[in-house]
């Protein structure tokens, strides 16, 4: 896979990609990642990449010419990309499904915006996908671009050593992960749940599955609204819901138990 990143902070992007799983994927030739300094595609003495907004208002806008030239240079060198991604809070939500889609492309470009945003003609004429990693405003698209690249590259064959890690990813299953433990069995008085040291693989699987439901119910109930669950899974979710409700009642201070009709 070939990935080209266009940014005014190439060292920031290169430094982040120089270590860890993505760096190894680059060394192994699984991915050919190039970072392009947008200022190299300016033509004035000050290497200007921004300008005031038409219509007035605060902040600056990224000029179209350097971005067009940068993407045209990538096309000239590498051929036409399958996607030109722009990181922006106005984009559609980035998700594991989006990462899987991008991981199937042979080549894509990521544009990192800065300032108030990029000239809309860039979006109209060269961007194919506007993506957002969440509902917050950052100072630029570099960190979101790194998030997307990390999520995509780890899906490429051979990048993550144990293929089961990828197959069992929380968001592949559509629910949250179960709790993990490693040695020692007791750490500062805190013991690992007995079932995990019991050697009963059936019981361990069942415990983990119920922990996944529990966490998802408690932390991300929205995931269960849209999850495609079998009847057996629905039944198990309902059991865990009842278990949580029982615990909730058991934890009420005595004398404060609700009867259901004494509110005022």
Q: Known catalytic residues?
A: 89, 116, 154, 169
Among residues 81 and 91, whose Cβ is nearest to ligand JAH?
91
Which residue reads 């179209």 in tokens?
64
| Cα pseudo-dihedral 94, 98, 100, 101, rounded to 10 | -150
Interatomic CA distance for residues 50 and 262, integer angstroms: 64
- Smallest distance from ligand JAH to CB 39, Å: 16
Among residues 70 and 240, whose Cβ is nearest to ligand JAH?
70
Please, how many CA atoms are within 13 Å of residue 96, restricted to the half-sphere of its CB? 13
- Smallest distance from ligand JAH to CB 123, Å: 12
Among residues 133 and 153, whose Cβ is nearest to ligand JAH?
133
- Smallest distance from ligand JAH to CB 105, Å: 20
21-46 exposure pattern, b = at least 16 Cβ within 10 A, e = fewer? ebeebbeeeebebbbbbbeebbeeee
Among residues 16 and 211, whose Cβ is nearest to ligand JAH?
16
Among residues 42 and 88, whose Cβ is nearest to ligand JAH?
88
Applying CB under 6 A, the residues found at the interface with ligand JAH are 87-89, 113-114, 117, 132-134, 137-141, 144
In sequence order, what are the residues at sequence separation of 6 or more whose Cβ sits closer than 8 angstroms to the Cβ of residue 26? 17, 32, 33
Token pair of 69, please? 């030239």
Query: How many angstroms separate the first and last alpha carbons of the chain?
Result: 64
Tell which residue, 95, 81, 160, has the closest CA to residue 127: 81
- The residue number with the shortest CB distance to ligand JAH is 113
| SS3 at position 7 | strand
- Smallest distance from ligand JAH to CB 227, Å: 24
DSSP 8-state symbol, 118: B
- Smallest distance from ligand JAH to CB 116, Å: 7
| SS3 at position 97 | helix
């Amino acid at each position: 896979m070939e990935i080209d990143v266009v940014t005014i902070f190439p060292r920031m992007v290169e430094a982040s990609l120089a270590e860890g799983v993505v760096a190894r994927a680059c060394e192994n030739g699984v991915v050919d990642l190039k970072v392009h300094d947008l200022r190299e595609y300016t033509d004035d003495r000050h290497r200007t990449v921004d300008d005031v907004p038409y219509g007035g208002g605060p902040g600056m806008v990224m000029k179209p010419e350097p971005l067009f030239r940068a993407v045209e240079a990538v096309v000239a060198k590498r051929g036409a990309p399958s996607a030109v991604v722009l990181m922006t809070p106005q984009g559609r939500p980035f998700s594991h499904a989006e990462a899987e889609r991008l991981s199937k492309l042979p080549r894509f470009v990521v544009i990192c915006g800065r300032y108030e945003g990029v000239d809309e003609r860039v979006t109209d004429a060269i961007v194919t996908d506007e993506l957002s990693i969440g509902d917050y405003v950052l100072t630029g698209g570099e960190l979101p671009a790194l998030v997307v690249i990390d999520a995509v590259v780890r899906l490429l064959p051979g990048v993550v050593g144990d293929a089961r890690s990828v197959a069992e990813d929380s968001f592949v299953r559509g629910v949250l992960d179960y709790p993990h433990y490693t040695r020692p069995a007791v750490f500062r008085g805190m013991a690992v749940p007995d079932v995990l040291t019991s050697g009963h693989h059936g019981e361990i699987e069942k415990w983990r599955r119920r922990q996944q439901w529990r966490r998802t119910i408690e932390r991300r109930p929205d995931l269960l609204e849209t999850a495609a669950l079998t009847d057996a899974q629905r039944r198990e979710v309902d059991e865990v819901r009842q278990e949580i409700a029982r615990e909730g009642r058991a934890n009420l201070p005595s004398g404060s138990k609700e009867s259901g009709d004494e509110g005022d």
